[in-house]
Amino acid sequence: MRTTTATGLDAFVELLAGGGVLVLSGAGLSTESGIPDYRGPDGRRRVQPMQYSEFVGSSAARQRYWARSYVGWQRFSSAGPNAGHRAVAALQRAGVVGPVITQNVDGLHQAGGAVDVTELHGALERVVCLTCGDVTSRWHLDERMRQANPGYEVTSDEIRPDGDIALNDLDVEAFVVPLCLVCGRDTLKPDVVFFGESVPKPLVENCFGLTERARVVLVLGSSLAVMSGYRFVRRAAARGIPVGIITHGPTRGDGEATHRIDAPLGATLTELTRRLAA
């Protein structure tokens, strides 16, 4: 049975001081970079992302996705790492944190200096063709879409964790969809796990291995609402590995947590770094 969850920064300093910490991060870590998470304080989704079955089901759905993504990418790709990302990298350099498993697709851990990052849900900076398997750069595809859609300008201040936005039907219908340069099909997809799509089993098994070898699992900015990340918290708890959670609002893993802080990620991690990496 779990003991009462420890709270407060002193408890986290004591928990993490021995090193061997596996970080599991979610969208909440990137909110201070200007990328909002999917869920509000009540745990409900703010937006409804495109489902995998919808994306693969029709060319019209893929046109809608790429039109929205083309506009949203302009703001998404300009986001940079924040104090939380930099703190994780600093804790790695200090030998406190080891590997990082991230549910985010923004690449900000690496941009902030972190290494040994497993991207559980893939990365938006890569694009894969579902027909022939060709992999290309999202930056290259963005230039191709720009050339194929001269004058296509839609003003939007919206930004989402997957780089998507909302567009009206007329803006979608005017967009020229990119085709694969190898097979010519319209089946290009960002190399990320869509809602309703499964994380590849070998990747899941690798993350289970990282979890079981950790001394501590530290969850940063994740509600753990989906099993994709929550299963690693469950595995840690089943193995008697302490679980610390730093995020805003309740999480699905609160019952497994041994340590818990509801606090801003950037300031909290910066202070932990000051105290642990001095």
Positions marked catalytic: 121
Going from the C-alpha of 82 to that of each of 104, 110, 154, 256, the distances in angstroms are 14, 12, 28, 28
SS3 (DSSP) at 50? coil
Q: What's the CA gap between 132 and 129, in Å, rounded?
A: 6
Which residue bears the tokens 């986001």? Answer: 79
Is the alpha carbon torsion for 223, 228, 28, 20 positive or negative? positive
What's the sign of the alpha-carbon dihedral 139, 140, 141, 145?
positive
Cβ atoms of residues 194 and 222 within 8 Å: no
